[in-house]
Structure 1
Amino acid sequence: MTRLGQIKPEFVEFIPENLAPGVLYISKRYSTASHLCCCGCGLEVVTPLNPAKWRLIESDGAISLSPSVGSWSFPCRSHYWISGNRVQWAAVMSAERIAAVKSRDRRDVEAMAPQPQGFFARMVGAIATKIGRWFGR
C-alpha cells in the first residue's frame, strides 16, 4: 500500500459508486465528502459535512477537512489531516485514545441533535418515565 501525499478535490452532485484513488469527492448538495483511504487500502471514507462531524474549507482552489480523518474502524487504522489538498499523516493512536475521541464525537453529535418540543414530546417523556419506574422496581 502506498500512502498518498496529495488529494484532488472534485465537486459532484452525487458521490460516484466507484471512487478513484487520490480524489476527494464533495457533494455540497448532500453535505458529504468521500474518498478512498489515503493509506492505499482501498476502503471508502465518508465524511459528513456538518458542525458535529467535519467542516470543509475552500481556499484558492485548495480544500481542507477539519478535524482529522481517523479510519479507526478499518484494519489500517489510518489517521491523517487533509489540508490545502495535502495529506498530512498523524501519529498512530492507542485504542484508549481512539475510544476517548469516539466518545467525544458521540457527545458532540448528541448536543447538535434537535431536542423534541411540544405536547407529543412531553407525552413521550412522561410515558418513558412511567415505564422506567415500572421496571425499576
Structure 2
Amino acid sequence: GEKSLAPAAVISGIAYYTTYTPFISAGGSTDPCVVGNRGTATIYAVKYLTAAAAYNWDSSNDTSVEVLDVTDRSTVAGAGIPSGLVISISAGGISAIVGTGGALVTPDIVDTGSTIPTYWREVW
C-alpha cells in the first residue's frame, strides 16, 4: 500500500508530504523490487490545522466555482520513490522541488512573504 518515506514540511500553514505506492503487477505482486515496478509518487498539500485541500489539483470536480474536496489533497508527481520536499528560501521567495523517477517536480508553494526559516537542534 501507500507509504510515506520522507519527512513532511510545513510552509505558510500548509503541510506538504510525498508518498509512494507500488504498482500491482500482472502476477498480483506489489513488490517494489520486481523489475519495472516503479510505482506511483504522490505529493500531498493540506492545511495543517484542518487537513483540508490547499490547492485545486482536481479541476474535474469544479462547476462554475472552484471546489476543494478530498480529491484535491494530492496530485501524482510521477513514477518511482519520491524524495521529500527540498525547500529553497531566498530573497526571491520560497520554492520547492521533489525528485522522482529521474525528474524534478516543482509543486505549488504559497509564499505569504512572512516565512522565517526555523531550526532546532538537540543539546546533549
Q: Above 0.5 in TM-score? A: no
TM-score where L is the length of structure 2: 0.28
- Report the structure number with the largest CA radius of gyration: 1
TM-score where L is the length of structure 1: 0.26
* Structure with higher helix content: 1
